Amino acid sequence: MTETYVDPRGVTVVIPCRDEADALPEVLAAIPAGYYALVVDNGSTDATAAVARERGATVVREDRPGYGAAVQAGITAACTELIAVLDGDGSMDPAELPGLVELVRDGADLAVGRRRPTRAGVWPWHARLGNLLIARRLRRKYGLPVHDIAAMRVARRTTVLSLGPLHLRSGYPLELLVGAADAGWRVVERDISYRPRAGGRSKVSGSWLGTLCATMDFLAVLR
C-alpha cells in the first residue's frame, strides 16, 4: 500500500472525536485544500473511525478518555510544522482556519478563535456565562488578550509540545493558555462563527452534568 506524502511545512487539522459519525462528513468536507485531517477516535461506540477513513482522514485511536488526551495524541501523531485543532461536531467552520494559520505564520505563537454565535440558542446561556467568567480571569490573572477558551486554535507543533503533558480532560484548552502566558507566548485572538452542531449532542454544554464536569476541570487549572 502506498502511503500519502505529508509535507512537513503544511497544516494538520487535529479533530478529537467521540461518537461524531453524524457530524464528521460535513466537517471533513470543509477542511481547506492542502490541509491534512487527523481524527482522534476517543472511545467512540459509533462508526466515527470508519466514517473518517472513508473520507480520507488519518485516524488515531486514543483509549484514555478525555478531550485533552485526544488532542495530545493527535499532536504527537502529526507530521507537520503547524497544528490546528477544532471539534468534530460541526459547530466551527474549518474554512476559517487559514485566517488563524496566517496569524501564526506572521509571528503569533498561538492563534485562537473567539466564537461568535450565528443565531440565538446556539450557545446555551449557562455554558456562555461560564466561558465569559473564565475568559475574564484569563485576562486579569494571566494578562492574556482573550475572550474565549480557545475552542479553535493554531500553533506550531514544537511550540505546543514544549509545554509538556497538559490536562487530560476539559481543562486542556485552559492549561494551554495558562502555559502560553507563563512561557511568554504571543497569543492572538480572531472572531470565528459558532454554529449549531451538525449532529449528535454536546458532551459539555448539552447537559448540566457535562457543564459541571467541565467547570470542575477548569477550576482545577485556574486555582
Structural domain total, the chain: 1
The predicted structure's pLDDT at residue 204: 56
The predicted structure's pLDDT at residue 217: 74
Domain range for 212 is: 11-222
Q: Is residue 1 part of a domain?
A: no
Q: Is residue 175 part of a domain?
A: yes
H or E stretch covering 220: helix 208-222
Q: Could you tell me what percentage of the chain is helix, strand and coil, using 3-state DSSP and rounding each to the nearest 5?
A: 40, 20, 45
The predicted structure's pLDDT at residue 2: 45
Q: Is residue 169 part of a domain?
A: yes
The predicted structure's pLDDT at residue 37: 98
Q: Residue 80: give its domain's CATH number.
A: 3.90.550.10
- Which stretches of 3-148 are DSSP H helices? 24-29, 48-54, 67-77, 97-105, 125-142
DSSP letter assigned to residue 32: P
132 and 148 Cβ atoms separated by less than 8 Å: no
As averages over each run of 10 residues, the pLDDT of the chain (223 residues) reads 72 97 96 97 97 97 96 97 97 97 98 95 83 91 94 97 94 95 97 87 56 70 73
Q: Is residue 5 part of a domain?
A: no
Q: Is residue 92 part of a domain?
A: yes
Supply the pTM of this predicted model.
0.91
The predicted structure's pLDDT at residue 23: 95
Q: Is residue 2 part of a domain?
A: no
The predicted structure's pLDDT at residue 213: 72
